[in-house]
Structure 1
Amino acid sequence: MTVEISTRESEVLALVGDHLSNAEIAARLFISVRTVESHVSALLRKLAVPDRRALARHAPDHTHKSTAVPVLPRPLTSFIGREAERAALADLVTTHRQVTALGPGGVGKTRLALRVAAAVTAHFDDGVWFVDLVSTTDPDLVAAAVAAALGLGEQPDRGMHESVISALSSQHALVVLDNCEQVVDAVAAFLERLLSACPRLSVLATSRARLMVPFEHVYPVPPLSLSGDGDSDAVELFTQRAAAAGQAPDASTREAIAHLCQRLDGMALAIELAAARWPTLGLDGLTAALSDPLRMLSGGSRAADRHRSVRAALDWSHALLAPDDQKLLRRVAVFAAPFTMAAAVHVTGIDAGVVADGLARLSEQSLLTAVSTANGTRYRGLETIRQYGTERLADADEESATRQRHVAWCLATATDLTQALPDWRARFDTVADELRAALAWASRQAEHRADAHDLAARLAALTFTRGLIGESQQRHEQAAALATDPRDAAVMLRGAAAVAACRMRGDDMYRLHLAAADAARDARDTPAAARDLATAATHAYRFSGKFTHLPSHDEVVALIDQARDLAGDDPDAVAAVALAEAGVLYDAFGAAQGPADNNVPDTLAHARRAVALARDTGDAIAQSAALDTLTGAQSWGGDAFGVAATINNRITLVTPLSESPQRTLELTDALSQAIEAALGVGDLPGAREWVRRLAEHPLLTEVSFRATSWLLVIDALAGDVADIPDVGERFAEAWRRAGSPRSTHLAPAAAAAVMAHDLGGDETARREWEQALDHLGTLPGHAFSYLAIFDSIRFLHDGDVERAWERTAPEPDDVWKWVTWLWLHWYVAVRCEAAVLAGRPDAAQHVAKARTVVAANPVAGAMVERADALLKGDRDRVAATARALTDAGCGYQAARSLVLAGGDHAARGQAALAKLGLRPMAPGPEIDWTR
């Protein structure tokens, strides 16, 4: 039976087949996550499959390859001849890893490269990617242009270079980099890193200049073949283009046309421009136009001979234009990307009617290309023509005025984009290069510094929201450098610091806050300087894991002392200093020694004071930061429920705020902590909801392993092992795309997968996850936290109660630093049960202490209740805990209760384990049920 699947469903299915999460699919297709969920549900129903993993297996059968692989641009006109060149270049591309198609503008490098790329696609298992660098004038954005072509977003903890390398590291593919000449040095450096890290990748570059790297193989692109008898590629190109322009040349003119093509040195662009004039000038007119070599060869000694031919053709085409069309051609040359008629009216300063007619005529004469899009017609000049127009603009002394109008239009466009219209992302992508080009020009003009600052600031905000957070940090810093008022500079530096924090760049974050403090001092705003210094100190302990070189304790204390001296009685500054003072009292600098240490009450008191002072300021971001410090103090005190409540307060505070780097930093940090807090208090459904919210955050589409890592832990503890392979595959794929970073923060996910596959009896998967755990690394103290918990659950499952007790033998107070917050209740509950089943003489004391610790935790509380019932031989109470654990979403522990209850309950428990996909559980030690 044929299954009807819509185009959108096919696109979603293809991406499911690529193992992308719903959030990643939403970002790729510019639709909401809920829409993706709806499509996935419909696909599950239509294809009659039980889960997402099965759905992914159906992707090749119900999607076209074009929805899952890159597509080369399709030229609007036919490709003529060049059989020998195509064969030679194809041979080079399939035998060498980096080939440069070299030649002057207009020789036909791009068309030839596209034709060859299409011909060799089958040679590359993962296809061909095309990257047009024509609009990339900033060397720092080469990697960003490649990432955009690959459909990659930026990862918060990795730059664009790393993102591209990670995405292509295992790909057997060809990347075509077109128009490299204006950023040739940056391309060379980028390719050296890319090809070293991606051993199966090949690159075909087109450029007017060599890359000058040792691994480069150069293919000089020759002009079209010429012959005097009219049988050549050049004549065929002229004939077809003239016919397309409205009048096919008669066969009797072929020799004369061959002579014209020889005069133009076989340059494809020059021939196409001449052919466009054939219907209006004919043979006599074209011959006359080419009769004055002094006028035609006006390129000067700085241009190569072949390039002078193109310039000659352009000079000739330009001379034939009406004055209004000449003016329009040179003024639209400032556009770096395809533009609309409305944009041309604003930027050229020419009447709309004249612009409309002129754009049509320039397109008819091959000086512009008109492309129809869903949002209307856009116009674009070939790079050679655009550069020619720019020279003409300077010659007419109109460049400054035109570029001023271009900057003004870009500012208005950027302002409009910040209004968050539904299609703003797609609109931004079409004008991003325009905004960058305008900024590049304005930033070099002293008289336009204010406009450059404003445009950089708008680009900083837009690129951040678009997920280009590396560029956002760069634009924030650029805006700060362009600011004439140090107060404005300080604002942008604070924004840059927040972006750096979102990128996991702690050293940059610290540097930028110190720079903001210097700018505030220059502005004589000492309270602001105090806030910046205190914030730098605070971040050194709040985000210590983001630093490569963490500042010393003494350095941070010195910052706080400076901030205190500058703060005066300013409420915001006093609150910032109080927060920094609270922070340095605990873990990051080793001041607190344990739960019984006097520093914990002191830290709690300082944290609560910081929260109160921040609340008085009315600044939600400051309150969130203070609440984060309070959660740290509460966790050291073992107050898991207090931690969860405080984190919920943070999320409630920052969620309604408008999008900004500061808000994103606080929200994503709080969401990550909310998952841990919910797990810590046994709220498994709540933890899953926080995972969903974290996964849906647009900045995390490329690092979804941060969310899926916790989903692995939740599923493993709950016993939902049927979902583990799918979740684990999504985690592993996102982790590999990020370059498989070593991170102890991700180790609990791997340890959870090891436990789940062990209980499920999948030895192969268990060994694979053990290797991943070894790669991620663990800290020594982890032996007393999640590793002890997961190991003990496995040992208890197998009835090895003595080993379970040995793994949890240390008193919680002795290993408090490793079991606090997330793991405390789990550790206490598992330890309590191990003590009872191992027959420890002090088991009753363990149960009594555990009851106090885990009170109100539905999972840990039921486990302790079960341990007490086992200790007292109360079979009914043991069995009754199964219902409580089921209600709490912990199917594994519910089944375990039934098996431990023995008798008729045991068979139901083993059946429940089998339904979960787990191997049978050992019955455990004999219990005297007569007590």
Structure 2
Amino acid sequence: MSDPVISAREAEVLALLGEHLSNAEIAARLFISVRTVESHVSSLLRKLEAPDRRALSRRAAELAGAGRPRSAPALPAPLTAFVGRVRERAELAEAVRAHRQVTAVGPGGVGKTRLALAVAADLAGDFADGVWFADLVPVTDPGRVGAAVAAAVGVGEQPGHGIDEAVLAALADRRALLVLDNCEQVRDGVAPFLERLLAACPSLRVLVTSRARLMVPFERVFPVPPLSRDGGDASEAVALFMERAAAVGWPPGPAVSDGVVAVCERLGGMALAIELAAARWSTLGLDGLVTGLSDQLRILAGGPRADGRHRSVRAVLDWSHDLLEPPDQALLRRVSVFVAPFTAAAAAEVAGFAPLDPSAVADGLGRLAEQSLLAVTASETGTRYQALETIRQYGTERLASSGELADVRARHAGWCAATATALTGTGGADWRARFDAAAEDVRAALAWTADQPDRRADAHRLALSLAELAFTRNLLGEAQQRFEQAATLARSKNGATEAPAATAEAPDAATKASPATAEAPDAATETSGGPAGAPDAATKPSGAAAGAPDATTTGLGAAAEVVALRQAAAVAGCRSLDGDMFRLHRAAAEAARRAGDTAAAGRDLAAAATVAYRFSSSFTRLPPADEVAAILAEARKLSDDTPAARAAVALAETAVDADAFGAVQGDPDNSVHETVDRAAHAVDLARRAGDPVAESAALDALSGAQSWAGDPFAAASAARRRTGVLASAPNTPAATHERMDAFAMAAATAVGVGDLPAARQWGRRLADHPLLAEAGHHAMSWLLVADAFTGDAAEVISGGVRFLDAWEQSGGLRSRSLGPSAAAVAMIHGLRGDDASRAEWLAIVDQAGPEADHRLGYGAVFDTMVLLHHGDADAALDRVAPEPDQVWKWVCWVWLHWYVALRAEAAVLAGHPDARSRIAAARATVTGNPVASAQVDRAEALLNGDKARLPAIAAAFDAAACPYQSARTLLLAGGDHTLTAKTALTHLGLTPTPVRP
């Protein structure tokens, strides 16, 4: 059979699926949107008749094995030929095959990187999932090793996890080789990261290059020797010299072969030294080389700390340096402060001062490149220059000995600050590339300024700028880290940093059902609009205190610390690290006390109390109820009479009351209505304070209270109002966090009241949010549910691919928002008659969400729909046997209307004696819900034997944008409507099955 016709772009997507890349990774690789990738995956599933994404990956591998070109390994392309190293190349390759982690060690300039790259290319065929390369030269913070690997592998952050965890999850089942280059300056970060990585990824191999071994027990050390000099002019060292000298236009002839052998011998076989010497061959010839090297070696002879090979590298660098004109010498040492490739304009700004004319910098860079002292590369943001790490370290030493180190670092920090400021608030297609090009230098400048007591204000500004930029770049872990760093820098006293406030108050990693009572339901479900389903790893914002001001304060002190801590809390909320939110708001309160602003301290304490209840489902361990009660009491005591303070306290009180509903036995109506009034008052106070984020949080509390009061339509209206309130809010972390939650809750509550068009609208807004590009399981949550209720199988299956890919990369995260999504996909497979796929997705449901939610809530709804679709009314009746008032408040009100309507229909189709009373009870509950009302009407028509009424009910389903139920209604009508119904179901991608009216 010939291959199906697929487009060139589909072929590219298929090939990358074969590399087990996520949709987000494919989008980044091909420079297209994630949604476009989803469309291509859906098309490939259809054209190749593949049941799922795994099958597509296998098909890609089959096509590759049949002669289709494989994707090249993700390795830097060498600009020159690899010479020699035949024995070392084979031995290192064998070591990598035999051991999980191999470290190629040797001094700078010996050729470790080129050897590692050659071996990685040789072994690419052994690793089905690819080869990745991460250069750690720009990394100055040991804590960012995982981030550098994530960037190399193409892994983004996952809500609820740090970047290291995201890498571990993404590589857990990969058979791949990871090359980590230049690890010596961050060995303290590399060693523990690799220990966790190798434990979590049993099929992964790691090849490290470093000047020193990592000193870990799982390491296999491979010393990289100098190039061989045995064999005279046939040695590897001489072969390298000849190849590089020929490349500059003057290949040495036979007459000078003995001299070349002598030069290579004196250079100790060091690859870098030989390449630098060969670059001078065309201008100095043999005599010049011998003279220069002899002088330098004599000057640098001896020294107890460096062996002969190291002296050889320093010798040739000294010699190359001394041959430069003074302006070029100054330029070489000054540009050594750049840790990443830099432009001529950046070099002019940092290095262009006396005796160097800024206008001469560009020419000087060209001369340094001609002498092999700088490498030149083209990038998306223009031509860039970079010194090899050995040369950069040499230049830094020269900079220190010249007395210019502090001045040049200060100029570099100033350039970084200006670059960060220029990036802030800008956009454009190249923004990401411009940020990535500057980020490592900004990080290095921050590290340097933070260590200078007299530059703490500069470091504070850099930390704030980097935090804001990292947030925009979706580097949420770093954004939180930098905001907290800014707070630490602000918290200084006579140049010394105090201990971080409130760190000891962070909760430890145990679990508890609720701070109010162990029996209370999850506050994220019951107090924040009812539904279990705000994507809780990325959507629950920071309540009233989420309206923290932008981090624009540049002065140091407690007030600046408060600003940074509030921003850090908001970012923690975006990451669903709600324990961190709680800790950071308490720390902000302590900072506000030190600043003498007791009212601000009260607001942050109220925010901490709100977080403890509003987002309790995302805590690893909730603080005790008495602790939160004490915090709230203190907040009342400290807060003043301003609308902002009153709104914060009112919101916290509403959250506490709403959480307590779960523990109330009997009739809580009076308490509920009091809480509705209190929440409405909090909304009014926040509006008067002019804080849209706080107003949205109060509306969330109001929505939750209204759902408990039995008014789901008011709850949905309040949830929808949040999106309008936030429309004009700035894109701060707090506002972004709240906005995502508003989209989720608007979609969830719309599902609950049967407004499927609105549910799809808000679900799509959430799915398309850039902050969730790497978190498809959260992004797709409510869109999958809405599409499943409409019966759109193609959309659900396509969205399910994105969901599953992201969920697996998250390490199988469990949360209350993910179970309904997976159950929705399982239902669609059930309606298609694909029992195997449904079973696979039901297994995911069991892992993704709490068992009780599936048993009593959404699981009962979706399972009943499948059972009724296949005509098994008795089993459907058993699935919804519990009385609605016994289950809905303990699970989530979103499913109540669907539950009672299906319960009535199952009673009719199964011939239950209470069918008519169930219809009456359901009608009283679902009035106003167009889909559920039509379902009850259909049940009543079937009970009365009034099939003539069914076509009109089908039209009502069409009007409610629910084509699946419309087609099912016509199928129940039978007769002339059967063909129309089956055609409609087939168009939806579902399997028409016989029904028993």
Please report the TM-score for the alignment, with normalisation by the length of structure 1: 0.93
For 2:388 and 2:157, locate their aligned partners in 1 and report how far apart those are by CA, in whole Å.
Answer: 30
Once the two structures are overlaid, the 10-residue window that deviates more, 523-532 or 802-811, is 802-811
Alpha-carbon distance in structure 2 between the residues aligned to 1:787 and 1:664: 31
Amino acid aligned to 1:198: C
Three-state SS of the structure 1 residue aligned to 2:385 is: strand
> In 2, distance between residues paired with 1:865 and 1:71?
60
The Cα shift of 1:648 comes to: 1.8
2:412 to 406, 413, 422: 406
8 Å contact 1:165–1:197 — kept in the other structure? yes
Post-superposition CA distance 1:176-228 (Å, at most 9, x none): 10001011121111111111111111011100010111121111111011036
Please name the residue that 1:617 is paired with: 689
**Which residue identity does 2:204 align to in structure 1?**
L
2:427 to 421, 441, 465: 421
Residues 569-584 of structure 1: matches in 2 within 5 Å? 569-584=641-656
Q: Is the 8 A contact 2:38 2:802 kept in 1?
A: no
Which residue number corresponds to residue 809 of structure 2? 737
- Structure 1 pair 6/910, CA: closer, same or farther in 2 (3 Å)? closer
Aligned position for 1:99? 102
Please, which of 863, 869, 874 is the counterpart of residue 941 of structure 2? 869
User: Shift of residue 712 of structure 1?
Assistant: 3.8
Matched position secondary structure for 1:568: coil
The answer to whether the aligner puts 1:775 opposite 2:847 as a matched pair is yes
SS in 1 for 2:174: coil
Q: What is the distance in 1 between the residues matched to 2:14 and 2:94?
A: 36
Q: Which segment is superposed worse, 279-288 or 583-592?
A: 583-592
Matched, 1:300 2:309: no
Which residue number corresponds to residue 928 of structure 1? none
Name the SS for the 2:728 alignment partner: coil
- In structure 2, the residue matched to 1:817 is 889
Q: Which moved more, 1:138-147 or 1:637-646?
A: 637-646
Q: Name the counterpart of 2:544.
A: none
2:22–2:806: 8 Å Cα contact kept in structure 1? no
Conservation of the 8 A alpha-carbon contact between 2:713 and 2:753 = yes
1:649 maps to a residue whose letter is R
Displacement after TM superposition at 1:459 (Å): 0.4
Q: Cα distance, 1:309 vs. partner?
A: 1.5
Partner of 2:182: 179
> How many Å separate the matches in 2 of 1:170 and 1:185?
26
* Range with bigger deviation, 321-330 or 817-826: 817-826
1:369 & 1:726 partners in 2: Cα distance? 45
Instruction: Specify the code of the residue in structure 1 equivalent to 2:267.
Output: L
Distance 1:776 1:873 in 2: 42
Instruction: Report Cα offsets for 1:526-584 as digits up to 9, x if no partner.
Output: 11111110011111111111111111222111111111111121221111001101110
Distance 2:648 2:909 in 1: 51
- 1: distance between equivalents of 2:4 and 2:949? 52
Question: What is the deviation of 1:805?
Answer: 3.4
- Which whole-Å CA distance do the structure 2 matches of 1:596 and 1:229 have between them? 95
Q: For 1:487-535, what per-residue CA distance to the aligned partner results, in whole angstroms no more than 9, with x for missing partners? A: 1111110111111111111111111110111111111111111111001
- Answer whether contact 1:156 1:699 (CA < 8 A) is retained: no
Match of 1:644?
A: 716
Does the Cα contact within 8 Å between 2:45 and 2:56 map onto a contact in 1?
A: no
Q: Distance between the aligned counterparts of 1:221 and 1:24, measured in 2?
A: 35
1:383 paired residue number: 389
Give, in whole Å, the separation in 2 of the partners of 1:254 and 1:3. 60
Task: Identify the residue that residue 547 of structure 2 maps to in structure 1.
Answer: none
Report the Cα offset of residue 366 of structure 1: 1.1
The match for 1:213 among 213, 216, 222 is 216
Matches within 5 A, 1:416-815: 416-422=422-428, 423-483=430-490, 484-587=556-659, 590-593=662-665, 596-780=668-852, 782-815=854-887
Where do 5+ consecutive residues of structure 1 fail to align? 926-931
Show CA shifts across 1:8-38 (max 9, x none). 7765565577787876655555555677689
Aligned partners of 1:359, 1:853: CA distance in 2, in Å?
76
Q: Secondary structure at the match of 2:156?
A: coil
Tell me if structure 2 keeps the 8 A contact 1:627–1:650: yes
Which amino acid in the other structure matches residue 445 of structure 2? A
Question: Contact 1:23/1:698 (CA < 8 Å) preserved in 2?
Answer: no
Note if 1:84 corresponds to 2:87.
yes
How far apart, in 1, do the equivalents of 2:3 and 2:968 lie?
A: 45
CA contact 2:138–2:440 (8 Å) conserved in 1: yes
* Change in CA separation of 1:25 and 1:678 when aligned onto 2, cut-off 3 Å: farther
CA distance in 1 between partners of 2:687 and 2:677 (Å): 15
- Among candidates 943, 953, 959, match of residue 887 of structure 1: 959
Q: Which amino acid aligns with 2:953?
A: T
1:462 & 1:271 partners in 2: Cα distance?
Answer: 42
Where does structure 2 lack aligned partners over 5 or more consecutive residues? 491-555
Note closer, same or farther for the CA distance 1:342–1:799 as it changes in structure 2 (3 Å cut): closer
Once the two structures are TM-superposed, the CA of residue 807 in structure 1 deviates from its matched residue by 3.4
Secondary structure of the 2:305 match is: coil
User: Shift of the alpha carbon at 1:88?
Assistant: 1.1
Aligned residues of 1:407 and 1:438 also touching (Cα < 8 A): yes
SS in structure 2 at match of 1:580: helix
Give the drift of 1:333: 0.6
Alpha-carbon distance in structure 2 between the residues aligned to 1:784 and 1:386 = 64
Which range is displaced more, 59-68 or 487-496? Answer: 59-68
CA distance, structure 2, for counterparts of residue 738 and residue 732 of structure 1: 10
Report SS of the residue matched to 1:370. Answer: strand
Aligned position for 1:929? none
- One of 367, 376, 381 as aligned partner of 2:373: 367
Equivalent pair of 1:477/1:496 in contact (CA under 8 Å): yes
Name the TM-score, length of structure 2 as normaliser. Answer: 0.87
Q: After superposition, give the CA deviation of every residue in 1:100-147 in whole Å (9 maximum; x if it has no partner).
A: 111000000001111111111111111211111111110010000000
Secondary structure class of the residue paired with 1:291: helix
Q: CA offset at residue 839 of structure 1?
A: 4.3
CA positional deviation for 1:832: 2.1
SS in 1 for 2:486: helix
Match of 2:702, as an amino acid?
L
Aligned counterpart, 2:496: none
State, as a whole percentage, how many aligned pairs show the same letter: 59
1:454–1:281 Cα change, 3 Å: same
What SS does the corresponding residue of 1:318 show, helix, strand or coil?
helix
- Aligned residue number for residue 146 of structure 2: 143
* Alignment partner, residue 246 of structure 1: 249
- Please say if residues 506 and 547 of structure 1, whose CA atoms lie closer than 8 Å, have aligned partners that are also in contact: yes
Aligned residue in 1 for 2:111: 108
Q: Please name the residue that 1:356 is paired with.
A: 362
Of stretches 816-825 and 668-677 in structure 1, the one that deviates more from structure 2 is 816-825
Q: Paired residue for 2:121, among 115, 118, 122?
A: 118
Does structure 2 conserve the Cα–Cα contact (< 8 Å) formed by 1:703 and 1:735?
yes
The Cα shift of 1:656 comes to 3.2
The answer on whether the counterparts of 1:564 and 1:577 sit within 8 Å (CA) in structure 2 is yes
